[in-house]
Every structure is written in C-alpha cells, then in structure tokens.
Amino acid sequence: MAICATDRSAWKEKSPPAARPSPALFDRAGYCQIGTGSSPMAAAPSSEAMWASSSSSLPAGGGGPACVFVIPTVPRVARSHAWDWAALLLLVAADALLNLIEPFHRFVGAGMMADLRYPMKSNTVPIWAVPIIAVIGPMIVFVVIYIRRKNVYDLHHAILGVLFAVLITGVLTDAIKDAVGRPRPDFFWRCFPDGKAVYDNITTGVLCHGDPGVIKEGHKSFPSGHTSWSFAGLGFLSWYLAGKITVFDRRGHIAKLCVVLLPLLVAALIAISRVDDYWHHWQDVCTGGVLGLVVASVCYLQFFPAPSDEKGIPHIADIYILANGSFRG
C-alpha cells in the first residue's frame, strides 16, 4: 500500500527501512509521488518518490496530500534517456565516417601472396542479413516478452542496450579495421582480377590494378565485422534470456542453458561462414567474437543486474529519475 506523509522527518524516523521492490512490482506498478496538482509530475516541496502497486488505493477522507500514480510509458522512459538516444545517433555517424575513410594499406609483397590467393566468393550471410539476425531478431524476442509481462522499462532498456552493443562494437570494429589494414585471404584476386601479378622491382610490393573499391575492402580483414556484430547482438540476447528464465538458479535445468546458448551458436555459425567464404582469417573471427561478446556483456550489465542476482528486471535508478528529474541515491 502506498505511504503518504505530510511530515517528511516524522516519516523517516518511524518508517522501517524500505525493502527492495519485487520483480512482480515492476511488472504491474507505476510509481507513487507525494504531492498535489493536476500534473502527474507535480510534486510538493518535500516530495519523495516511492514504488507502490497500481492496485493500491488512495488515502480516504481527503486528509493530507494524495499519492499520484504515474503509469510508465515508452515515450516517458525514452525521454529520461534522451542523452543515451542522442549518443546512439553519434555512434551511427561515427561508424558511417569510418566506412568512408581509406584504410591503412599494409605492405603486401610477392612472398606473402601464398596465403592470399584464395578464390573470391560471395557472402554466405549477406551484409544486410546481419542487422536482421543480430538486432531485429533480439528485438522481436523483447517484444514477445513485453506482451506477456507488460514491463515498459524492460522493453525500453533491452532495445536501448542491444542497440548500444551493436553500435559500439561496430565503431570499434571499423576503427580497428582502418588502423590495421590487414589484407583478406582473397586479396590476390582483388588486386589482380585478371590473374596477372605485377610487383615493384625493388620492394617486391604489389602494384594493384583492380577496382579501387574492391581493393579498399580487401584491406579490412581484421577483425571480422560480421562476427563482432553477431556476437554483440546475439550475445546481448543470451544475457537477456539468462535473466528472464533464471538459468543460474542452481536447479540443474539443462534445457534453460540450451536456450541461452542457442543465440551464441547462431553467432558462431556466422563467424565460421566468414572463414569458409575466404573473407577472413581465423584470427579475425576469433577477435571479432571476443570483442562483440565483451561489449554485449558490458552493455547488458549497464541496464540489467547479473542474471544470478535478480530475475532480469531493470536497474531501479530510473524510478527516481522519472519521479524527481535526477537520481539521489
């Protein structure tokens, strides 16, 4: 039941320590803010934001200020994270810029071509399919869970978290690609599409006469972007599912573990396809996988507690941000 007090100091002395809200409370509750006024966000000078069940009743008799329930909505929660959404736009711009930059053209000599003569093949997993698998796919899972639990915070944080995971990973991946400039396994055919190799007489360096765009892409082998994006998005989904189905409840349900590992298996298969298509060396996909999984883990823990601690509900700080405009822990 919501607690309303006209005397803040008296309430602090007599009230027992507040218990942490249960996961069910997040699923069915708004927050109660002490104060009067027509606006849900209007507060008395001594306002305190507290969680209260949406089924709680208001104080009878009209004595004292009323508790006003503010039902969370996606726009309201999104506004409290306006700077986060702005940061996402900056990441998109940064990644676009990195793709326009000419990568470092690492020296490639005649003696190095033995490992760079693999045939050019089309992508088993097209580049346009990666965002669908690693971003849209997890979002569909988030929406399905939202339809069942009706938790706006969970939906918003999950979407924001997976977008941060893939975009941060994308910026790091493309920045490393441009800086390293490692040639792809099929670099010979990118450099000499007619099969007639031409080398510098002094340095034995390649004198490419292929399409400049194809050659530019040939210097972006390390790390694998397909792999890093896949492990970022699907790795985040694995963390999310682990929290939702409480995979670490120590009850020995192997089926739960299989559900959590399934997205990682899909990401691993995408990584293997990059080696099979001769677009990447094995070191490229291993590094990309680790990079994506690390970023996914950091982003998940930024918005959700560890699955072993809670049932995957979002961090509580947003409650106070929405109520008071800032977090006072």
| Catalytic choice (156, 157, 219, 280) | 280
Q: Is the dihedral of CA 247, 259, 295, 78 positive or negative?
A: negative
**Residue 315 among the catalytic residues:** no
What pLDDT does 19 receive? 53
In tens digits, the chain (329 residues) has pLDDT values of: 444 544 444 444 555 555 555 544 444 444 444 333 444 443 433 333 334 433 444 444 444 444 444 567 777 888 888 899 999 999 999 999 999 999 999 999 998 998 999 999 999 999 999 999 999 999 999 999 999 988 898 999 999 999 999 999 999 999 999 999 999 999 999 999 999 999 999 999 999 999 999 999 999 999 999 999 999 999 999 999 998 988 877 777 788 889 999 999 999 999 999 999 999 999 999 999 999 999 999 999 999 988 876 555 565 444 544 554 444 33
Q: How many CB atoms lie within 10 A of CB 207?
A: 11
Amino acid (one-letter) located at 30: G
- List C-alpha distances in Å: 90 to 95, 177, 196, 264: 9, 19, 44, 28
Residue 24 included in any domain: yes
Q: Do both 144 and 254 map to the same domain?
A: yes
Do both 106 and 227 map to the same domain? Answer: yes
Are 84 and 55 within one domain?
Answer: no
Is 149 within the bounds of a domain?
A: yes
What SS3 state is found at 308?
Answer: coil
- 3-class secondary structure, 53: strand
The residue segments making up the domain with residue 48 are: 8-71
Same-domain status, 260 and 182: yes
Which position among 209, 226, 253, 315 bears the catalytic label?
226
Assess if residue 1 is contained within a domain: no
Domain-embedded: residue 328 = no
Residue 26 and residue 110 in one domain: no
129 within domain boundaries: yes
Q: 122 with 268, same domain?
A: yes
Contact 224, 285 (CB under 8 A): yes
* 199, 227 contact by CB (below 8 A): no
133 lies in a domain?
yes
By the 8 A CB rule, do 170 and 231 touch? no
How many domains does the chain contain in total? Answer: 2
**Whether residues 276 and 239 fall in one domain:** yes
Same domain, 20 and 164: no
* Last residue in a domain, options 71, 90, 122: 71
pLDDT of amino acid 307: 83
Q: Does the residue 3 lie in any domain?
A: no
CA atoms in the 13 A half-sphere facing the CB of 272: 6
What is the pLDDT, as a whole number, of residue 70?
Answer: 58
Tell me, yes or no, if 280 is annotated catalytic: yes
Residues 43 and 80 in one domain: no
User: Which pLDDT score is estimated for 313?
Assistant: 58
- For residue 52, what pLDDT is reported? 40
- Are residues 59 and 81 part of one domain? no
Per-residue confidence (pLDDT) for residue 314, from 0 to 100: 62
Q: Are residues 262 and 297 in the same domain?
A: yes
Report if residue 327 sits inside a domain.
no
Where does a domain end: 47, 71, 95? 71
pLDDT at 217: 95
Of 50, 71, 92, the position where a domain reaches its end is 71
Q: H helices within 119-253, ranges in order?
A: 129-131, 137-149, 152-180, 187-191, 212-218, 225-244
pLDDT score of 105: 93
Residue 247's pLDDT is what?
Answer: 84
Instruction: Judge if pTM exceeds 0.85.
Output: no
Amino acid symbol at 155:
L
Q: Which pLDDT does position 240 carry in this prediction?
A: 94
DSSP H helix total and E strand total for the chain: 13, 3
- Same domain? For 28 and 162 the reply is no
